[in-house]
Structure 1
């Protein structure tokens, strides 16, 4: 009889422990912002390369960031700078070079890698498929919108968007409101983030600006130095997300952003965000 009475007690204890564990897990998860691997794990590997993206995936970044540029003959490439000078053994602007010319260049790195090439957007998406989430930046070229349709075509080709695609696998960001509005018109299901760079300390984001962005975007991406608790509250009050990128002092600023409870951070060191988030807990 005593054994029969013990069984319900044991079951209650097990259920209580499970609930406590699940609640604790949710609390821990809520303290960690969405982690976007800035040009891949670019603090460890050459930016916008397969090694950088592979490492970001291994570090369990929520998204890999891809900056898009376009070649003279109309191919989208994963490349940040307008010029190839900083990252390769060549010289000149991406927009003035064909894909064949770009592919002849080598990305300057240590002796660890000798044959890294500039990647096309299609090559990146083909390589990773649905195994990662994509945070893609579009831009205008000479005040013209030339990459949005090409980008969407590639994403559809690899079934990253469209019928059967996983919701939230792609986020599009841009400093160009025109570009985001075009993407919204062509693929309204994709979340959009309006990027903002504020250099002047006296300049503040107004409620009017937030209201305008909310008409077509789901979030705002802004340089961390201009992010305050007031701004975070005003953006989130509009049911928008706030993401931050770092110009300098990433480690110190990361701690501050976590404390302010921003929704996501761009990081060159995606493995360190979880560590810093848990330490703040």
Structure 2
């Protein structure tokens, strides 16, 4: 087993992590806005990350918090508001470098992702516990089917990845869309050891950078089991180089432009 892990480690360290824009280029633009994701793509992000929630009329929107209070001009719980009500709010001006912006739907973000000339992956996080429970994954998979990305030929070529801290949510996706990559987020020993991911059929694990500083061996162990490692949220140079050194596959960052530059000095 030790020899196998060493060989896996050697192979994986020959390539750098892919850069995933956490809620878009969210350090420079208001999170989950079209402007944040357009800037991330322009900066060379190879993946985009978003959180999705259901509105009262069952529309998937990209909002991290349970309420809109922090990131909009209004107040209220996302699940108690309709899409039309959300569209009346400004989701951009709160940010120091923001401008007025409408709430972003998952359909709009999928369109941007799939229309981009380079292949970009969209990492979609479902939030739990929530009012609508399993309906979130049900409607998410329906939307991914509508865009033709719910049944990729292989996980390696998938344009969408579903991620969640909820094992039940990951299991629902794996059961209904077995070829779609999934990442179980978390910090527990069961996650790092792989037993939690095995139980729900996740194709990857998603520890934080804080955890991977203390448990770098988790990356090789995941790879030895055929799983990718997605690390969040990686904004500092020392952490970026640490992730590259131990063979992390995907790093989520609020600064996609500077992280690409750190990984590829002199890149234009």
Specify the TM-score bucket, using the shorter chain as the normaliser: 0.7 to 0.9
Structure 1 unaligned regions, length at least 5 = 1-26, 199-203
Mapping for residues 1-281 of structure 1, pairs under 5 Å: 30-107=14-91, 108-109=93-94, 114-131=99-116, 132-140=120-128, 141-142=130-131, 144-162=133-151, 167-196=157-186, 198=187, 205-206=189-190, 210-215=194-199, 216-227=201-212, 228-246=215-233, 250-278=236-264
C-alpha displacement of 1:161 = 3.1
CA distance in 2, matches of 1:121, 1:220: 23
Q: Do the aligned partners of 1:129 and 1:160 also contact (CA within 8 Å) in 2?
A: no
Return closer, same or farther for 1:110/1:222 CA change in 2, 3 Å cut-off. Answer: closer
C-alpha displacement of 1:113 = 5.1
C-alpha displacement of 1:206 = 4.2
Q: What secondary structure does 2:194 align onto?
A: helix
Return closer, same or farther for 1:123/1:46 CA change in 2, 3 Å cut-off. Answer: same
Return closer, same or farther for 1:117/1:143 CA change in 2, 3 Å cut-off. Answer: closer
Return closer, same or farther for 1:214/1:255 CA change in 2, 3 Å cut-off. Answer: same
Report the TM-score when normalising by structure 2: 0.82
Structure 2 unaligned regions, length at least 5 = 1-10
Q: Do the aligned partners of 2:29 and 2:97 also contact (CA within 8 Å) in 1?
A: no
CA distance in 1, matches of 2:21, 2:95: 21
How many residues matched? 246
Report the TM-score when normalising by structure 1: 0.78
Q: Do the aligned partners of 2:193 and 2:221 also contact (CA within 8 Å) in 1?
A: no
CA distance in 2, matches of 1:277, 1:173: 24
C-alpha displacement of 1:153 = 1.6
